[in-house]
Amino acid sequence: MPAFVKQNIAGWGGWPRVECAVYRPEKRRALAEAIACGDWPHYIARGLGRSYGDAAVNPGGGVINTTRLDRMLSFDEQAGVLECEAGVSLEDILETFVPRGWFLPVTPGTKFVTVGGAIANDVHGKNHHVDGSFGEHVLRFTLLTPNGDILPCSPSENDDVFWATVGGVGLTGVILTAAIRLQPISSAYIKVDYRRCANIDAALAAIRETDDAYKYSVAWVDCLSRGAKLGRSVLMSGDHIAGRDLPVQYGHALTIPKKFQPNVPFNLPGFLLNPLFIGTFNSLFYAVHPSKQGQIVDYDSYFYPLDKIHNWNRGYGKDGFSQYQATFPHSGVEGLVKLLEKLSASGRASFLAVLKRMGPGSKGLLSHPIDGWTLTLDIPVKGGLMPFLHECDDLVAQYGGRLYTAKDATTRAEVFAAMYPRLGEFQAIKAKLDPAGKLSSRLARRCGIVEGPVGP
């Protein structure tokens, strides 16, 4: 019988935390056996657990941790195509390939994510307006289906399963291996222009005006400021700098200095999260980032500022936090401003929020991005959070927006269905691949993607 350990696990937000039977197979065959043995009514794959909510949490069921299936299988140096097991982390890929002149095609704001997790949430990054989401750079993958078959999938082979799996939050099967196309770089540095924007209108205007000129762009928003300063932001737009343009003092163009990484060793007390402390932090961030052009920043500092502090999520205390990411179509941008007003007026203090213009979405049936604007922020868990978030959800839905499976822990099924109009198509493919409902998660049941009791 495949070995498992009963563990209380949660997503990165630390909430909800529930008991699951966790398997950590080292071989693909052991992974298949864990699901085939049928000790639990349902199973879900888990990568590095960086989804904030309950996408990789499965009370009353099995959780298959894939992080030991982390072998790189081949690399085509001409085409930049890496074939690897799905438990390989983006950090591993960067450490191996940046020195050889290759970079990820798309990266989220943390490198502690597996390839399987990046496909299953069809993650996006600062270049979404130019390059789309992660799934669009996946050439093919192999999928262990719930009945034990290994299905090759690509945009031209089993394409329906391919696009159900991209963004399909682990519900179509377990991705075993994937081939992804990396992008060539000649330095490990980004040239960044910073623009300070006095409020949300100025930030939206600056992004509209400048975005097309840059590969990467994102704005950090002080979501506690109000009135004329509502949504004051620092827009950071950048491009890879060519090795030949890198000043000599940076040394070897494709290596960056190793830095000390502090750790938050335990959950910090909740009183630190008062609006005064957070407001001061946000104001300081705005103050120390005047507009300036052409700053050279290493890729680690530009893409992964939060990864610098290990376990930074413990800073939100033992009750955890919810990360709220809402994406609105261009026609619903007024909803984004209303959401920001509601959040800033609520006193539910959040550190800096992130604002980004998104490009067109991928073909992933449950993929999150849509052409428009996305706003992301952390909200500590404290009294009355659930009804407050449900009000926010209604506002987002009213403006044609949607919430993101990688972040969400609270959306109700009827709201999710309204936000993801291709849910029915997804469910039809899922029903064919998994008639017995072997793959499920707390998120899948809560959002009504599959039937069953949500669990604690």
Residues forming contacts to ligand FAD in the complex (CB under 6 A) are 12, 44-51, 55-56, 66, 86, 108-110, 113-114, 116-118, 120-121, 123-125, 169-170, 174-175, 306, 406, 441
Minimum CB distance to ligand FAD smaller for 101 or for 426 = 426
Q: Rounded to the nearest whole angstrom, what is the least distance from the CB of residue 345 to ligand FAD in the complex?
A: 26
Q: Rounded to the nearest whole angstrom, what is the least distance from the CB of residue 25 to ligand FAD in the complex?
A: 11
Parallel, antiparallel or unpaired: strands 72-76 and 183-184: unpaired
Q: Rounded to the nearest whole angstrom, what is the least distance from the CB of residue 359 to ligand FAD in the complex?
A: 13
Tokens of 13: 């937000």
Q: Rounded to the nearest whole angstrom, what is the least distance from the CB of residue 435 to ligand FAD in the complex?
A: 19
Minimum CB distance to ligand FAD smaller for 86 or for 343 = 86
Minimum CB distance to ligand FAD smaller for 9 or for 204 = 9
Minimum CB distance to ligand FAD smaller for 80 or for 170 = 170
For residue 45, CA distances in Å to 66, 146, 386 come to 7, 12, 27
For residue 226, CA distances in Å to 4, 154, 308, 437 come to 50, 47, 30, 47
Maximum Cα–Cα distance across the chain: 63
Minimum CB distance to ligand FAD smaller for 199 or for 362 = 362
Contact 119, 146 (CB under 8 A): no
Tokens of 393: 């959800």
Q: Rounded to the nearest whole angstrom, what is the least distance from the CB of residue 169 to ligand FAD in the complex?
A: 4
Q: Rounded to the nearest whole angstrom, what is the least distance from the CB of residue 279 to ligand FAD in the complex?
A: 22
Minimum CB distance to ligand FAD smaller for 108 or for 231 = 108
* Helix/strand number for the chain, H first, E second: 13, 19
Contact 370, 358 (CB under 8 A): yes
Q: Rounded to the nearest whole angstrom, what is the least distance from the CB of residue 206 to ligand FAD in the complex?
A: 20
* Crossing angle of helices 385-398 and 333-345, rounded to 10°: 160
- List of residues 6+ apart from 218 with CB closer than 8 A: 126, 235, 236, 354, 355, 356
Residue with tokens 């309950």: 54
For residue 269, CA distances in Å to 52, 266, 274, 320, 325 come to 20, 9, 11, 11, 25
**Cis peptide, bond prior to residue 25, ω within 30 of zero:** no
* Crossing angle of helices 333-345 and 200-210, rounded to 10°: 140
**Residue count (the chain):** 456
Which is nearest to 443 in space by CA: 366, 381, 355, 335? Answer: 366
Q: Rounded to the nearest whole angstrom, what is the least distance from the CB of residue 231 to ligand FAD in the complex?
A: 19
Contact 368, 141 (CB under 8 A): no
Q: Rounded to the nearest whole angstrom, what is the least distance from the CB of residue 22 to ligand FAD in the complex?
A: 11
Q: Rounded to the nearest whole angstrom, what is the least distance from the CB of residue 177 to ligand FAD in the complex?
A: 9
Rounded to 5 degrees, what are φ and ψ at 297?
-130, 135
Minimum CB distance to ligand FAD smaller for 51 or for 199 = 51
Minimum CB distance to ligand FAD smaller for 399 or for 404 = 404
Minimum CB distance to ligand FAD smaller for 93 or for 253 = 93
Instruction: Give the integer Cα–Cα distance in Å for 28 and 177.
Output: 10
Minimum CB distance to ligand FAD smaller for 132 or for 335 = 132
